Amino acid sequence: MKAAILYAPNTPVAVKEVEIDDPQEGEVLLDVVGAGVCHSDYHYVTGHRTIRKAPMVLGHEGAGTVRAVGPGVREFAPGDKIILSLDAMCGSCRNCSNGRPALCETYRPEAVSRMSLAGEPLYHGRPTFVEQTLVQADACVKVPDDTALESACLVSCGIITGIGAVVNRAKVETGASMAVFGCGGVGLNVIQGGVLASAGKIIAVDTVPYKLELAEQMGATHFINSAQEDPVQRIMDITGGGADYAFEVVGFPSIVRQAIDCVRMTGTAVVVGVQPQGQDVTVEGFHLLEDRALIGAFHGAARPRVDFLWILDLYKQGKIMIDELISRYRPLDEINEAFADMAQGKVARTVLVFD
Ligand SMILES: [Zn+2]
Ligand SMILES: [Zn+2]
């Protein structure tokens, strides 16, 4: 079976035939149907984040069907449709017990090797840029048989990360104003989350006009091209003194600073974007003293086995857009082209599809 492999930052991703192990105790082997190309993968290609162990098999957003289950797996059977969660949930650690399974302490990200190429180990988490993937049953969410996995794969990361940051983590109140810095695959879902929460003003900030158009389609009410004007000042003007919430969905400390600078007293800035490895975020101390808060939101504070299902329900009701987020479909062999499209701001999401 084929897999997309990164050997070192700033080199093209190689798509090669690899070997995959059989499922062991508590594991599920999936045939991948759709895999979203998320910026978090591209961060490893550019070196924004450090590869945990090379060569690394890429991908984390995806959905597929169960091909086989290992010993002890009783809740899934071959043919079941699965949306893979970014996080596995052990159900018994402190964070799982406390309703925060996205930060399960048992399954924090680590590089394992269940795939190999000519006898050499390949490293990965729960990769999706592969024809088949081997994952813990604890990371699988069974979804209804009528779910279109080619599109619903985006629920796995981009959709829940954005919507969850608004409704699970920040708990934006009806009528509140919010600014969204970065209108890519995740930022557009922060905007959708704002619509679900009935936010009053939803201010989209980006440097790419195409993304601001997508933001309008998703329900944003105000638009700022931050290449042309100072977003903090404009947000102050639009909201009459600062937004109630600001979401940083790009992944740069300077934009986190803009997010905290544009919220009003008592407002909250939320870090959603993946920050560069080892870099600090700075804030003006007095800003925090005026009851402003700076918080993070990992994977939308998801409870995957609850949240993925209601997201699909709302999609069926026309209250959440999924298809509109997908700019194009490509085969796995075109992964480098998909990353190039992303780098140039040409797409919201590309989905890799498999035969
Ligand atoms: Zn992602
Ligand atoms: Zn846990």
Under a CB-based contact definition with an 8 Å cutoff, are residues 106 and 97 in contact? no
C-alpha 301 – ligand 2 centre gap (Å): 13
Residues with CB under 5 A from ligand 1 (ion): 38, 40, 61, 157
Ligand nearest to the CA of 105: 2
Coil, strand, or helix at residue 223? strand
DSSP per-residue string spanning 2-45: EEEEE-STTSPPEEEE-EEPPP-TTEEEEEEEEEE--HHHHHHH
Show the 3-state SS of 125-170. CCCCCECEEEEEHHHEEECCCCCCHHHHHHHHCHHHHHHHHHHHHH
| Band of residue 48 on the pLDDT scale cut at 50, 70, 90 | confident
Ligand 2 centre and the CA of 209: distance in Å?
41
C-alpha 155 – ligand 1 centre gap (Å): 10
Q: In this predicted structure, what is the pLDDT of residue 271?
A: 98
Query: Nearest-CA neighbor of 122 among 44, 5, 2, 1?
Result: 5
260-276 pLDDT, tens digit per residue, is: 999 999 999 999 999 99
Of residues 8 and 345, the one with the higher pLDDT is 8
Sheet holding 263-271, edge to edge: 222-225, 202-206, 178-181, 243-248, 263-271, 293-296
Q: Terminus-to-terminus CA distance in the chain, angstroms? A: 12
274: CA distance to ligand 1 center in Å?
Answer: 9
For range 130-158, the mean pLDDT: 97
Ligand 1 center from residue 46 Cα (angstroms):
15
CA–CA gap between residue 257 and residue 261 (Å, rounded): 6
pLDDT at 109: 66
C-alpha count within 13 angstroms, C-beta hemisphere, residue 145: 5
pTM above 0.85, yes or no: yes
39 CA to centre of ligand 1 in angstroms: 6
Cα 227 to ligand 2 centroid, rounded to whole Å: 42
Neighbours of 183 (CB within 10 A): 30
CA pair distance 67, 136, nearest whole angstrom: 14
The conformation of residue 86, written as its DSSP 8-state character, comes to: S
With tokens 């450090």, the residue in question is: 50
What DSSP letter does each residue of 274-325 carry, written as one string?
-PPTT------HHHHHTT-EEEE-GGGG--HHHHHHHHHHHHHTTSS-SGGG
Ligand 2: centre distance to CA 200 (Å): 36
Domains and CATH numbers, the chain: 2-156+322-353 (3.90.180.10), 162-297 (3.40.50.720)
How many angstroms does the Cα of residue 98 sit away from the middle of ligand 2? Answer: 9
Q: How remote is the CA of residue 173 from the centroid of ligand 1, in Å?
A: 26
φ, ψ (nearest 5 deg) of residue 197: -80, 0
Measured at the CA of 249, the angle between CA 271 and CA 176, to 5 degrees, comes to: 75
Q: What is the dihedral of CA 84, 86, 88, 91, to 10 degrees?
A: -110
Which pLDDT score is estimated for 233?
Answer: 98
Looking at all shown ligands, the one closest to residue 303's CA atom is 2
Measure 37 CA to ligand 1 centroid, in angstroms: 8
> Residue 158 Cα, ligand 1 centroid: separation in angstroms?
6
Ligand nearest to the CA of 95: 2
Among all ligands shown, which has an atom nearest to the Cα of 96? Answer: 2
Closest-approaching ligand to the CA atom of 87: 2
- Return the closest-CA partner of residue 243 out of 262, 259, 229: 262
Q: How many CA atoms does the CB half-sphere of 349 hold within 13 Å?
A: 32
State the ligand closest to the CA atom of 62: 1
Ligand number nearest to the C-alpha of 184: 1
Q: 97 CA distance to ligand 2 centroid (A)? A: 7
pLDDT tens digit string along 64-93?
999 999 999 999 999 999 999 988 999 999
The pLDDT of residue 51 is 87
- Ligand 2 center to 107 CA (angstroms): 7
* pLDDT, tens digit (0-9, with 9 covering 90-100), for 185-207: 999 999 999 999 999 999 999 99
Query: From the CA of 139, how far away is ligand 2's center (Å)?
Result: 11
Task: Measure the CA–CA gap between 271 and 64, rounded to whole angstroms.
Answer: 30
